[in-house]
Amino acid sequence: MALIQNPFDHDLPSADTPRVHVQLDGKWEEVPRGLNVIEVARRFGKLIPHYCYHPKLSIAGNCRMCLFEMGTPKLGPERKPILDGEGRPELQWMPRPQIACATTAFEGLGIRTGSPLVESCQKGVMEFLLANHPLDCPICDQAGECKLQEHAFDYGKGRSRFGEEKVRKPKRVDIGPRILLDDERCILCTRCIRFAREIADDDCLGITERGGYNRLSIYPDKRFTSNYSLNTADICPVGALTTKDFRFRMRVWFLKETESICVDCATGCNVTIGSREGFVHRLTPRVNEAVNSHWMCDQGRLGFHPIHSKHRVLEPARRAETGLFPGEWPFVLRQVAESLRKQNPSSLALLVSARLTNEELFLVQRLRDLLRGESEIFTEVVPRKGVADGLLRSDDLNPNSQGARILGIGADGEKLPELRKGIEEGKIRALFCLHEDAVGAGVPEEMLERLSLLVWQGILADKTCEKAHWVLPGASFAEKSGSMVNRAGRVQRLQRAIPTPGRAKEDVWILQGLILALGGEDLGQGGPDVFSKMAAATPAFQGLTWAGLGDQGAPLPA
C-alpha cells in the first residue's frame, strides 16, 4: 500500500481476486477477474495505446485510442458456452470496437489488440487528434516523451488529410504558480481534471466551450495552487501542461535519468533525477506502490535548486586572519583529525543532520567511537517540523530521521538546548557541524566565537560556516549514493546523478578520510561498500544488501 491513498487502483487487483481465462490475441491467459483490459495486455507485454486512461484515476473513456475488438463466448441452446476441441469457449466477435479502459476481464473474454478493425480505429483516432493539434513539436517541451508523438509514430498514418484552418485556442495560460497551459496542444483527455478532483482535492479545472472548441480551463478567479499541481504535467500525455520550472530548459532526450529518492521530507518519494553535464534539470516521480505511487509534491520536486546555488561551498578551507584560506584535502583532513583528537572528548559535540544517508551516519558513529575514549560525546540531530498534508508530505522534513535513530545519532533534537547551554557554560569547546547550521539550531552566533574548534561540513554557506575554523565542502543528495529509511521504515537508495562541484567531495569520502587519519579502519570507498559493513554491524539492518534494496527499496527487517 502506498503512503498515499489512491481513489482507484486499476492495475492492482487484490491478491485474492479469483482468476479467469481470457484470450489475448489468440492465446489463452489467466488473469485476475475484473482486471482492466489495458492492464491485461500490459501484463503480457502488449501495449494497448491510450491517452485518457490512468491506472490511478477514474475511467473517462474519452480518447477512444484504446478501442479493441472484443469477443464473448458463443452460447449454445442451453445458454452454456460452446467449447472447442481444447475445452476453450468458442468466441464470437462484436462488430463494434470497445474501449479497453472500461472493459474488465471475465471468463471467456476475447481481446484482439491488432486486428484490421483495431488498426483502423487507431489510425482514425490519431488522425483526429492531430487534425487540430499545432504540431509544434520542435518548440514543445513534451517532445521526446509525448504520447501523441509516440503513438503517431506507431499507430498513425504518417500524413494528414486535414486541409482546413485549425481551431485557435489560448496559449501560455497561467493557471497556477508553477504550471502553464497550452490549450492548442491539449487533447482533452481530462487526466489533469480528474487528478485535481480525485487526488489533489483541488477541483478547479474543467472543460469549457463545446465540441471542437472545447478547451481546458480553470475556474474563474481560481488558481491551481495545489502542492501537487505539477503531477498534472507528468500525467499530461502531451505538452499542454508544462512546469514553469522546467519549461524550455532542456530537451528531454539529453537528460540522464538516475533513479533516486526525494529528500524533502521523511516520505522519501521515489524520483528520477534528470541531469545533463553535471546539472540537475528536474525531478520526476517514479512509481513505487509502497511509497508514493505515481506522485510527488511540488515542494519536493522543486527542492533540488539549492544544489546549484551560487552559495555552494566548493573548496576545503581553513580560517586564517584574513578569511577562509583554501587548502588541499589531505592536508585539511589530517589537520581536522588532529584538532579533533586533541579535544577532550567530553568537550566535543557533533551536530549531525538527519538529512545524511545511513552510510554517512554510520561513519559519524564510527568517528565518534574513535574519538570518545572513556567519555560520551554529545551528538544530536536538528529536527525539522512541517505539516503533514494527508497525502504524501510528512510532518518530519528530515528524510532520514529513522536512520539517525537506528544508528544512535539522535532522535528528535531533544538534547539541542544542552548544546547551547554547554557552549555557554564552557563545557563544550569544540563543535563539528555536519550539514547543519548551529545558529539555526539555537546557538547564538557570538557564542560560536568562544569555541576553540569549529568544523563545518556542508554544501551551502550559512552563519556557522562563516565562523568555522575548518570548512569541508560536502555533497548534495544528487551527488552521492547511499540509503535512507523513510517514515514507514522502508530502506531506499539514493543514487549519484552528477559529480560534486568544484573540490567538494562525497561526505562518505570525507568522513572516511577523517577516520583513516585517526587510525580507524577502512570501511569502504563509496555508499555501497559502507552499506554492507553497516548492515553487518547494525542489527536493525541485518540481512539487507545494497543490491537487494533495488530501485524500490526494502522494508526494515522485522
Partner 1 sequence: MAEIGTAKGPAAEHRIILRYADEPDYTTDIDCYLRHGGYEQLRKALSMEPAAIVAEVKASGLRGRGGAGFPTGTKWGFIDHAKNQKPVYLLCNADESEPGTFKDRQIIYKDPHQLLEGMIISSYANRAHLAYIYIRGEMVRGAQILERALAEARAKNFLGENILGSGYDLDMFVFRGAGAYICGEETGLIESLEGKRAYPRIKPPYFPAVLGLYLCPTIVNNVETLCNVKHIVEMGGAAYAKIGTPNNTGTRIWCVSGDVRRPGYFEYDGGAITMGELLYDVCGGIRDGNRLKAVIPGGSSAKVLRAGETYRIRRKNSQGTMEEVEMKLEDLPLDFDTIAASGSMSGSGGIIVMDHTRDMVECLNNLSAFYAHESCGQCTPCREGALWMHKILDRMAEGEGRPEDPQLLLDLAEQIAGRTICAFGEACSWPVESFVAKFREEFEAKAAKEHERLQPAC
Q: At what angle do helices 507-517 and 527-537 cross, to 10 degrees?
A: 60
Three-class DSSP category at 498: coil
CB of 95 to partner 1, least distance (A): 8
Strands (E), 94-183: 98-99, 109-112, 173-174, 179-181
* Choice between 162 and 254, CB closer to partner 1: 162
Burial category of 449 from C-beta neighbours within 10 Å (exposed 0-12, middle 13-18, buried 19 and up): exposed
- Let me know: does 290 contact 274? Beta carbons within 8 Å: no
CB of 134 to partner 1, least distance (A): 14
> Of 92-100, 332-340, 411-419, 453-461, which segment contacts partner 1 by CB under 8 A?
92-100
Q: Is the dihedral of CA 442, 446, 448, 451 positive or negative?
A: negative
Question: How many whole angstroms separate alpha carbon 37 and alpha carbon 10?
Answer: 10
Which residue reads 560520551 in cell numbers?
Answer: 376
Candidate list 6, 113, 132, 476; residue touching partner 1; CB under 8 A: 132
Within 184-223, which residues bind partner 1 (CB under 8 A)?
187-188, 206-207, 209-214
Count the residues of the shown chain that bind partner 1, applying the rule CB under 8 A: 39
For residue 458, the SS3 value is strand
- Interface map 28-67 toward partner 1 (x if CB under 8 A): -------------------------------xxxxxxx-x
Whole-number minimum distance, CB 29 to partner 1, in Å?
A: 22
Rounded least distance, CB 56 to partner 1, Å: 18
Residue number, 101 or 175, with CB nearest to partner 1: 101
Write out the binding residues for partner 1, residues 155-184 only, by CB under 8 A: 161-165, 167
121/351 with CB nearer partner 1: 121
Contact residue for partner 1 among 34, 81, 124, 345 (CB under 8 A): 124
As measured in angstroms, the least distance from the Cβ of 199 to partner 1 is 19
* Binding of residue 127 to partner 1 (CB under 8 A): yes
Binding segment (CB under 8 A) for partner 1, from list 21-29, 94-102, 317-325, 513-521: 94-102
Tell which residue, 500, 100, 558, has the closest CA to residue 280. Answer: 500
Sign (positive or negative) of CA dihedral 89, 90, 93, 94: negative
In the complex with partner 1, the residue whose CB is nearer, 164 or 449, is 164
Q: Give the dihedral sign, CA 34/31/290/293.
A: negative
Give the residue among 293, 297, 343, 360 at the shortest CA–CA distance from 455.
Answer: 343
What is the Cα Rg of the chain in Å? 29
Residue 339: what are its φ and ψ, rounded to 5°? -65, -40
Nearer of residues 156 and 474 to partner 1, judged by Cβ:
156
Cβ-based nearer residue to partner 1, 210 or 305? 210
Q: In the complex with partner 1, which residue's Cβ is closer, 161 or 310?
A: 161
Out of 131, 135, 302, 516, the only residue in the binding site for partner 1 (CB under 8 A) is 131
Contact 393, 386 (CB under 8 A): yes
Q: Coil, strand, or helix at residue 432? A: strand
Q: Does 135 contact partner 1 by CB under 8 A?
A: no
Alpha carbon distance 214, 194 (integer Å):
16
| Residues whose CB falls within 8 Å of the CB of residue 49, separated by 6 or more in sequence, listed in order | 65, 66, 122, 147, 151, 154, 155
Asked if 305 touches partner 1 (CB under 8 A), the answer is no
Distance CA 206, CA 30 (A): 39
Residue 157 vs 311, nearer CB to partner 1? 157
* Cβ distance to partner 1 smaller for residue 125 or 291: 125
Q: Which residues bind partner 1 (CB under 8 A)?
A: 59-65, 67, 95-97, 99, 102-103, 120-121, 124-125, 127-129, 131-132, 161-165, 167, 187-188, 206-207, 209-214
